[in-house]
Amino acid sequence: MMLMNRVETALVNSPPRRWLQRYYEVPWMRRLGGPLPPGARVLELGCGPGYGTQLILDRFGAGHVDAIDLDPAMITRARRRLTRRYGQRVRLAQGSATDLHTTLGEPLSRYDAVFDFAIIHHIPHWPDALAEIARVLTPGGRFYFDEVTALALATSTYRLLFDHPAENRFTAEEFLSELARHHLVVDQQYLTRRRGRYVLGVATYRP
């Protein structure tokens, strides 16, 4: 497992990152996947400093969010951002998206939605995370994702500034077909941008 380097940590905690989440990623996710059912139970993977969690609560109207991150420093930041404002509507836990049982001690089929704001490309054995997502979603539950593909990770900007797992990277097509293997059905609800460097969409769990 890999934590982010200093440059990426600073970027994730910056106003431009929050701007992109608020004005680009969340509106597109809503457009493609629609709103959540009232009072929805949501899991956010790799919540970082918790700004995405705030948008899931405020913009999607989630009833409760369990938000996890591998990095304890991120959980501390998220706690500072969220606890006073949202109280019992948020639970934060440190641990890996590839082992939700250890991280959350949850039973199966618990969540109406799972969110991935750019974390799965950090996981060397990323199909394990998709298997976990399918395991914890209710039938008909939705997986909202925005991911960084192998094409972006191969650019000089990404290679110079950030550290990512070198093996087992995925293209947009590989990510979408692995989703299908786990019964996470995307149909036409996705888009790629910057010529396949990023893939954003919504899958529905249809076991």
Ligand X SMILES: C[S@@+](CC[C@H](N)C(=O)[O-])C[C@H]1O[C@@H](n2cnc3c(N)ncnc32)[C@H](O)[C@@H]1O
Q: Tell whether residue 70 is a contact of ligand X (CB under 6 A).
A: yes
* String of DSSP letters for the chain: -----HHHHHHHTSHHHHHHIIIIIHHHHHHHH-PPPTT-EEEEES-TTSHHHHHHHHTS--SEEEEEES-HHHHHHHHHHHHHHHGGGEEEEES-TT-HHHHH---SS-EEEEEEES-GGG-TTHHHHHHHHHHHEEEEEEEEEEEE-HHHHTSHHHHHH----SSS---HHHHHHHHHHTTEE-TT-EEEETTTTEEEEEEEE--
Which of 42, 78, 92, 122 contacts ligand X by CB under 6 A? Answer: 122
For residues 126 and 55, is the Cβ–Cβ distance under 8 A? no
Q: Tell whether residue 169 is a contact of ligand X (CB under 6 A).
A: no
Q: Tell whether residue 26 is a contact of ligand X (CB under 6 A).
A: no
Per CB under 6 A, which region of 55-63, 64-72, 173-181, 185-193 contacts ligand X?
64-72
Q: Rounded to the nearest whole angstrom, what is the least distance from the CB of residue 115 to ligand X in the complex?
A: 8
Q: Which residue, 160 or 188, is less far from ligand X as judged by CB?
A: 160
Q: Which residue, 119 or 130, is less far from ligand X as judged by CB?
A: 119
Q: Tell whether residue 96 is a contact of ligand X (CB under 6 A).
A: yes
Q: Tell whether residue 29 is a contact of ligand X (CB under 6 A).
A: no
* Number of residues this chain uses to bind ligand X (CB under 6 A): 24
Q: Which residue, 12 or 32, is less far from ligand X as judged by CB?
A: 12
Distances 24 to 82, 93, 121, 173, 174 between C-alpha atoms, Å = 22, 27, 19, 22, 23
Which of 33, 46, 127, 141 contacts ligand X by CB under 6 A? Answer: 46
Per CB under 6 A, which region of 35-43, 69-77, 80-88, 104-112 contacts ligand X?
69-77
Q: Tell whether residue 90 is a contact of ligand X (CB under 6 A).
A: no
Q: Which residues of this chain interact with ligand X, rule CB under 6 A?
A: 1, 3-4, 12, 17, 21, 45-48, 52, 68-71, 74, 96-98, 117-119, 122-123
